Every structure is written in structure tokens, then in C-alpha cells.
Structure 1
Amino acid sequence: MNTSTPAPRIAIIGAGPGGLTCARILQRRGIAVTVHDADVSRTARDHGGTLDMHPTSGQAALTAAGLMDEFTELSRPEGQRMRLLGRDATVHFDSFPPKAADGRGNPEIDRGQLRDLLLDSLTPDTVHWGHKLTHADPLGEGVHRLHFTDDTTTDTDLLIGADGAWSRVRCLLSEATPAYTGVTFVEAGLEEADTRHPKLAALTGDGTMMALDNNLGLVAQRNSNQHIRIYIGMRIGQDWHERAGLDLTDTDAVREHLLRQFIGWSPDLLGLITDTDTGYINRPLTALTVPHTWNHTPGVTLLGDAAHLMSPFSGMGANLAMLDATDLARAISAQPTLDEAVLAYEKLLLPRSVEAAEGSAEGLDSAFAPDSAQQALAHMKEHH
């Protein structure tokens, strides 16, 4: 970047892994940045399950951010374990993924731990909490005026949309909106799993367990502190609960309805449905159309789910967001102007986003299909 001109005003919308990684790397390179997030504080909500950090994306981003040692202390190498069961609870596959050439695997870390790691690495007051973007007005020459729900505004020379699936920044570049994939996850959870639910903990193993059959699936995922996060997956209409006349806050009624979907499954697996300590949360899976591209527009770009929302079944979302963030921050620091930086970044971003999104869509379709068990086993044998 040309240091003889005034420092550019850079605003990132969204304090997720991508937005925070971009901010951290920019600050390491002496470039000022502000992050705006809709949450009222860093502890305002639960930030989801566990993530496996891939060597060439998530781990590469953490290295660029100077946080690899801290990540290593927090991560769980054993979390890489992948287990596939049949609907009768028979174990068909149980293995670790292959390591990269340098010996690194895909260690797991809780989303909340990763977020805290990134937040703590930033200079004080980098993140402006309770700043939910309503819209951005182009003012010319790449400058945008940002409007927030608290009636404040600020102008920026580069607006980076890292604000996830329902991005308020995306509309400046694209008319695309997320569409339902046909698959819904109902989230449940086990607390103190090893002591209070030992059989289900043993069934899950050290990492992630999946049982898939005929458009249905149960996914159990180890988190820290003996928590197991469960996803009850179904290929079903998005309005499934309305058609069934279900109140999603009625835990007993939801439990009974879910059990009817999984008739014939092993009682050992059905415990993942019946024994939840956290109730049930309906999570329809959405994705952007593939390919999702846009024409370059001065002063604005996207990263992460705002750019390439895909199903979480791919396991690539956070990794790609952090790789996007790394490439964008590097381009900003290396190119003479912000516009040249965004052009260089988008040349990297768009092709790989399309490839990843196509793979994610194919993976979800094969996991929730009539022959999903056979497809999943073949995939695991090939890639693990």
C-alpha cells in the first residue's frame, strides 16, 4: 500500500472467524481497521460447535496471524477422528484423516475458543459491538457511508462484508440470496457427556460420529468440556414443523416427532435424540447458488459466507473464510491502492469459491440420499 497518501478507512462488517482474521493480519502489518458487529458483546450468544482447522487454509491463516502457538495449546488433535455407523449402530469406519506433507493434521477447536483467541489478539476497541448495519450508500470513488441501527453513520474507503449468510453488504455486489438446500438439521446437545451419558459418549468417540441412511442422519460432534453437539438431519420440507402442527418450543412433542422419522434405527443411536440436555433448535441449511460471482465494484468486497455460503456439511466454511481474510489482508498490504488490492484478491477468491461450493453441494446431496450410507462409506475410504 502507498504510505505517502492518507491512511485508508477500512471497515469490516462481522466479527466471525473471517472478519477477525482479516483485522488481525491488517493490524500486524500496521494497517488500521474497524470491525462492526451486530452482537451487543462478545458473549452475547453461543457461537456453535467445533471446527477442524485445515493445514492449507485455517492453519495457514493462523500462522499469518501469528497465533499458531496459541491455537496449538487450545486445539484437540484427537478431534480429527471420524466414525461412520450404520442405522443399527454397527461401526463401518473409524479413522483419522491423512496428515499433510509437513505432518500436520486437522486439529479441532471450539468456535467460541477460536473467536476469543482472535478477539484477544486485536488492539483494544477494534470491534464496535452493537453496530448492526442497515445499509451502505455509495458516495463515489469507492467511498461508502455505513448506516447502523443505533442511528450512527461512518464513511469508509473499503467496505468488507464478512457478515455471513444474510449479509447486508452482499446486495452492493449481487442480487443473490441464500436458498434452502432441502436438508434441515435439528440441533441437540449432551452436557458432561462422559459422566452423565457414557454410552453415547463412547458411541461418539473422540471426534465426529455420523450415522446416515435413506435421507436421514445423526451427527455427534465432540466439543470441549465434555459437551457433545448433536445434529439430527433430515431431507424434508423447510416447513416440516408447521405441516406437523409442531410448536418448536414444545420439547416433548418435537422429540416424539423426530423419533417417528427414525423408526427402525438402533435404540443406542436414538439416545442422541431422546437424551438431549439442551432442547432442540431448528436449523434449515441454506446456500448461495453455484456459481456465485459478481462484477468488481470499487470500495467493496466480500469474504466467507457472505461470498460463498455453503452447507456446513463440507467442513470448509470457517477455513475458507480465514483463507479469504488472509489473502485480502495480504493484498491490501502489498498493492499500491485499495482497488488494485481488491481486484487481486477477487481473482483468487472467486474461482476457488466456486469449486468449494460445488463440492459442498455434492457432499450434502450424497449424505442425504437414499443410498447415503454406501456413498459416505466410499467417500471416507477414499479420503481417509
Structure 2
Amino acid sequence: MRIAIAGGGLGGLTLARVLHLHGIHAQVYEREATRSARSQGGMLDLHAESGQQALAKAGLAGQFQSKARPEGEEHRILDPAGRILVHHIPKPGSFSGRPEIDRRALRDLLLDSLPGEAVAWQRRLVAATPRAGGGFGLTFDDGHSADCDVLIGADGARSVVRSLLTDAPLSYVGTSVALTISDVDRRYPDIAELVGPGNMWCVGVSQILSAQRLGDGSIRVGMSLGPTDRHVDTYRSKAGLLDIFAGWAPQVTALIAAGDGSPFVRRIETMPTDARWDPQAGVTLIGDAAHLMPPVGEGANQAMLDGAELAAELAANPADPDSAIRAYERAMFTRIQPIAEMSARIQAMMMSPTAADDLVRFFTPRTTEPAPAD
């Protein structure tokens, strides 16, 4: 059984790792040239019921704790005037919540757990063609080709493999812009103090300016903006971004001015929350390829759990991969729909005119009413 995984992100690598533990080889095809070819983004909080569970199935829970940054759970919510609305400080060293880990560190952890030949770099899939006798022929953008018996699309929002299963439309829900500030403690101590060791969100009307402290001493700055007809070039310059956030406190907009290089711009799109497909022999999807959701904290966690659960099904029934895929898809569809609906509600809340008040309520612990006296 030749298994091909299109995409070497967190979901695809988790799938390959759990299969490897069961003695099943899978070839991962990754479009990037090397593991360090581009930034992997900011921090990720791993949820006990999904991302952490997937790492446990991958035999990497202990290594995760050695690389995680539980202090990254500290978060601050500000208004555009720079006033602190919420300041949550986690218990020092506690892994009881959703400990943060740098995405690069997590990806490296998964890569290092696989044989060196498990990932074929610089292989961007451009076509997957069903073969007459079963399986698929794969074509890559550099002219290379390969064959497989089972194809798993872990190739993200613009999945090539998805078109073999569904034509579910993508909906534009906003725009994300990112910058990095390197060596922040030395270069910008005021910004380092503003952000702290974890996350900072400054929340306005249909726009959020956020920052995350990473383990390498840098800060990842993010801007979340609602749907708009602004030209994309507006987001590609710091001057254009500063215009968008005009009137906000200078200590907050300093995050934009201090960014290294040019902003990285990405359209945020989603699949329908009830998206699913009829089973097809030898092919399935995981992660964003299967259930593209707004980036509100569930995507990577669910992708990793997808990978771990699909690997477990394939390992339990290696003689009948189609039955294994059907069992995985049934469970995945049931699990994902309420999570996708919740993610859509959170995205709408974050982009609403009352986002600041809603987020304060969301992150403020509810007090327990005292019991009535006897």
C-alpha cells in the first residue's frame, strides 16, 4: 500500500508520524524547498482534546512539554486607546490549560520524529489523476511524477486533492496581515513590555491588531480585518496599514512601524460548515483541505487530530484502506461540524462593532453565586 500525503504541515506530519509508529510508510510531498524556507507563523495553543491528544498518539507528548511555553498563555486585551481591558496571567509552569508552542518548534518536533526520506521537499502537487486500475498518478510543478495507491490531501486552503472529492465553494470572510519584529527586547523594549510573554490583542471595530511573543525573542504582529473592497496593495505597505489604524494609540501602532520588511497578506476564506462528500476509493482529506475554518484557534488542532485518527484507522485495517477511510470520514464529519459552526460565530464576534465588549465577557471568568443560607 503506497500512501502519498500531499502537504507537510502539522496535519500531514502527524499522520505520517502515527503511521510510522505502526510500521506503515507514507511519502509526504511538501511544496517548500526546506524546513526553514519560510516563516511558520506565530504561536499555537494546543488543546487537550485535540492537538495534545494527537501528540500523545504520536508518542511525542513528553517532547512537546519540553518545547512548549506555558507562559505564552498570558494574554492582554486592549482597546484602541491603549487601555487594558483584560490581563490574564497563567499559573507559572502549568500545562493544565492550553500551553503555547511556536509553530516552527512544533513542526520541527514532528519532522525530527520521521525518517529523513519521509518528506520529499520542493514537490508542489499540481494534479492528481485517477488510474484505471486504482490509485492515482501525481504530477508536481517541477515536472516530477509519482504513483500511489492511497492519496491524502493535507494541502491546505487551496487543496488540489479536494477537487477529487468536492466542489464546495470558499467564502471570503476577511484579510490577515502579518509582520515580524526581531530582537525586540534590545531594539524595542517598550513594545516588549506592551506585549509581555504571551499574546496581546487590541480590538477595534471590524479590525484587530495583535502580537505574540515567540521563543526566539521576536514578536509576530498580526492584523485581522473584516471583508472589504480595499485594494490588496493597501495592506502591503506599512503606510497603508497605519492609515487603516489611524487614531489608535501610538504605543499600539508602533507595532506596525517596527515590523521588519514588508507585510505578508493573506485572504481568509472558509468552507461551508456542513461541507462533506461521498466516499471515493483511495482518497481523503485532512485539515484545511477538508474543513477550512476561520483562524480562531481550531484549525491546526483539528488537522493534527484528523491525521492521528486517520492513521489509527489505516493501521487497524491495512488490508482495506477504503473501509478505514470511510470510518475516519464519518467520525471526522460528526466532530468537525459543531467546531466549524463555533469558529464561524467567533469570527463574526471578533469582527463585530461590539467585539471588545464581547471578548471581555468571553475571557472574564464567571463567578459562582453563593449558596443561599439555611
Tell me how far 1:41 sits from its aligned partner: 2.1
Q: Percent identity?
A: 39
CA drift of 1:296 comes to 0.9
- Offset at residue 300 of structure 1 (A): 0.3
CA deviation after TM superposition for structure 1 residue 107, in Å: 1.4
Residue 214 of structure 2 is matched in structure 1 by 223
Runs of 4+ in 1 over 4 A off after TM superposition: 96-99
Choose from 108, 121, 134 the match for 2:100: 108
1:212 is displaced (CA, Å) by 0.8
* Paired position in structure 1 for 2:306: 324
5 Å matches for 1:99-178?
A: 104-140=96-132, 142-178=134-170
Q: 2:4: which partner in 1?
A: 11
Higher mean displacement: 283-292 or 158-167? 283-292
State how far apart, in whole Å, the 1-side matches of 2:89 and 2:235 are: 40
Instruction: State the distance in 2 between where 1:315 and 1:142 align.
Output: 37
**Is the alpha carbon distance of 1:79 and 1:350 closer, same or farther for their aligned partners in structure 2, counting shifts above 3 Å?**
same
Give CA-to-partner distance per residue, 1:230-283, whole Å, 9 cap, x none: 1122224254345xxx593xxxxx333322222332111111122212332222
- From 46, 51, 64, the equivalent of 1:58 is 51
Which SS does the other structure have where 1:280 is aligned? strand
- Distance in 2, matches of 1:22 and 1:311, equals 22
TM-score after normalising by structure 2 = 0.92
Match of 2:181 in 1: 190
Aligned partner of 2:121: which letter? W
Closer, same or farther: CA 155–241 of 1 in aligned 2, 3 Å = closer
Show the counterpart of 1:311.
Answer: 294
Unaligned ranges ≥5, structure 1: 1-7, 249-253
Shift of 1:151: 2.8
1:241–1:130 Cα change, 3 Å: closer
* 1:339 and 2:322 matched: yes
SS in 2 for 1:113: helix
Partner of 2:361: 378
Distance, in Å, in 2 between the alignment partners of 1:235 and 1:152 is: 40
Residue 276 (structure 2) aligns with: 293
**TM-score after normalising by structure 1:** 0.90
Pairwise CA RMSD = 2.1
Distance 1:98 1:298 in 2: 49
User: Which AA in structure 1 matches 2:304?
Assistant: M
TM-aligned CA deviation for residue 97 of structure 1: 7.0
Partner amino acid, structure 2, of 1:330: A
CA spacing shift, 1:247–1:274, aligned 2, 3 Å: closer
Q: Secondary structure at the match of 2:260?
A: coil
Whether 1:207 aligns to 2:198 is yes
Q: Distance in 2 between matches of 1:40 and 1:103?
A: 34
In structure 1, what is the equivalent of residue 250 of structure 2?
267
The aligned residue for residue 29 of structure 1 is 22
Instruction: Give the Cα separation in 1 of the matches to 2:266 and 2:235.
Output: 15
**1:123 Cα deviation (Å)?**
1.4
Write the letter of the residue equivalent to 1:80: E
- What amino acid is aligned across from residue 315 of structure 2 in structure 1? S
Contact 1:141–1:298 under 8 Å retained in 2: no
Partner of 1:137: helix, strand, or coil?
strand
Report the alpha carbon displacement of residue 195 of structure 1 after superposing the two structures with TM. 2.0
Whether the 8 Å CA contact 2:235–2:263 is kept in 1: the answer is no
Which residue identity lines up with residue 9 of structure 1 in the other structure?
R
Structure 1 residue 137 displacement after superposition: 1.4
Aligned to 2:117, the other structure's residue is in SS state coil
Instruction: Give the conservation status (yes or no) of the 8 Å contact 2:51–2:302.
Output: yes
Residue aligned with 2:12, SS: helix
Rounded to whole Å, the distance in 2 between the matches of 1:369 and 1:266 is: 20
Please state if 1:48 is matched with 2:48: no
Structure 2 distance, partners of 1:169, 1:25, is: 21
Counterpart of 1:34, as a letter, is Q
Deviations 1:356-381 (A, max 9, x none): 22111111111111111111111112
- The 2-side partners of 1:168 and 1:382 are apart by 43
